[in-house]
């Protein structure tokens, strides 16, 4: 990868596989980074550093104000064993079954998966994945319970962005009927163009030069411990497989609560 003999996409898939992530498990689905921060320009300039997301920081630290709030949360919570309010920056995760299913909800079998995770129906329209720009703004700036990253399909599968099956996904509060995913202006409303440019962004010189910083956060030494605290990159202890020994938990109610928490909210990849 350092010699540019394999693509960034292939290297990320390789790391995901090493870390135990798989297309066969929604709870441990391959995780990919947001690479762009520009979802408003008419044309995409891949030579301008301002076009890109800061890959050295997790989604919770993309703006200074948001970063400060998460550090404050971390400092306010006292360390406590086996408690849902354990000391961490984030109580939600960047990859979970519901995040994966919400991204792919317009395609089967993910439609059925999403509905089953939601209790049998689609979510409230305003909370559904409907716009790349608004999802980026939510995950990087606006929503303190949203630090989601992306999935590999954002870089090769235009079909997941269209409602080809004509599912009735509901109507948003502003009257917008949910259909195809709203794309940035530079995609000209064309899912194929979006995927093409998004993949070019992933393989760009800027991302190639900075991708290792994101890898450190997700798969490497900044995943836990003091380096993670310093990087504003700590998650609830239940998300770390090695921090919870279910065999030692005798209370079936506590055990089922922890298992439910993990399955709903995500798991940290194995450190590679």
pLDDT in tens, 242-254: 666 666 777 777 7
Please tell me the total count of domains within the chain.
1
Show the domain range for 98: 8-265
d(CA 269, CA 248): 22
d(CA 248, CA 262): 17
Residue position matching structure tokens 């709203």: 182
81: exposed, middle or buried (Cβ count in 10 Å: 0-12, 13-18, 19+) = exposed
E strand or H helix at 265, and its extent? helix 252-265
Residue 1, in any domain of the structure: no
Q: What is the DSSP letter of 177?
A: B
Query: For 212, left (φ over 0), alpha (ψ -120 to 50), or beta?
Result: alpha
Residue 237, in any domain of the structure: yes
- The CATH code of the domain that includes 127 is 1.10.1540.10
Q: Is the pLDDT of residue 26 over 80?
A: yes
pLDDT digits over 46-84, tens only?
999 999 999 999 999 999 999 999 999 898 876 554 455
Residue 30, in any domain of the structure: yes
Residue 270, in any domain of the structure: no
Residue 89, in any domain of the structure: yes
pLDDT top residue among 272 and 264: 272
Q: What is residue 222's predicted lDDT score, i.e. its pLDDT?
A: 96
Residue 2, in any domain of the structure: no
């Amino acid at each position: 990868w350092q010699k540019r003999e394999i693509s960034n996409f292939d290297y990320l898939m390789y790391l995901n596989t090493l870390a135990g992530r798989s297309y066969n498990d929604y709870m441990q689905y391959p995780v990919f980074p947001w690479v762009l921060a520009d979802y408003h320009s008419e044309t995409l300039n891949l030579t301008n550093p301002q076009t890109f997301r800061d890959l050295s920081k997790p989604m919770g630290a993309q703006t200074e104000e948001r970063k400060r709030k998460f550090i404050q949360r971390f400092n306010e919570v006292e360390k406590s064993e086996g408690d849902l309010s354990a000391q961490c920056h984030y109580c939600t995760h960047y990859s979970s079954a519901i995040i994966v299913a919400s991204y792919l909800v317009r395609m089967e079998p993910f439609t059925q998966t999403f509905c089953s995770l939601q209790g049998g129906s689609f979510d409230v329209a305003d909370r559904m994945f409907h716009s790349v720009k608004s999802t980026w703004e939510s995950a990087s700036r606006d929503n303190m319970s949203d630090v989601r990253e992306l999935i590999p399909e954002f870089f090769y599968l235009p079909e997941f962005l269209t409602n080809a099956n004509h599912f009735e996904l509901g109507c948003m509060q502003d009257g917008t009927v949910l259909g195809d995913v709203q794309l940035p202006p530079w995609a000209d409303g064309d899912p194929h163009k979006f995927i093409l440019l998004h993949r070019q962004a992933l393989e760009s010189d800027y991302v190639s030069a900075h991708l290792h910083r994101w890898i450190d956060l997700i798969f490497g030494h900044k995943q836990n411990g003091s380096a993670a605290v310093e990087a504003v990159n700590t998650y609830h202890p239940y998300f770390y497989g090695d921090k919870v020994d279910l065999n030692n938990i005798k209370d079936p109610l506590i055990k089922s609560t922890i298992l439910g928490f993990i399955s709903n909210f995500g798991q940290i990849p194995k450190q590679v």
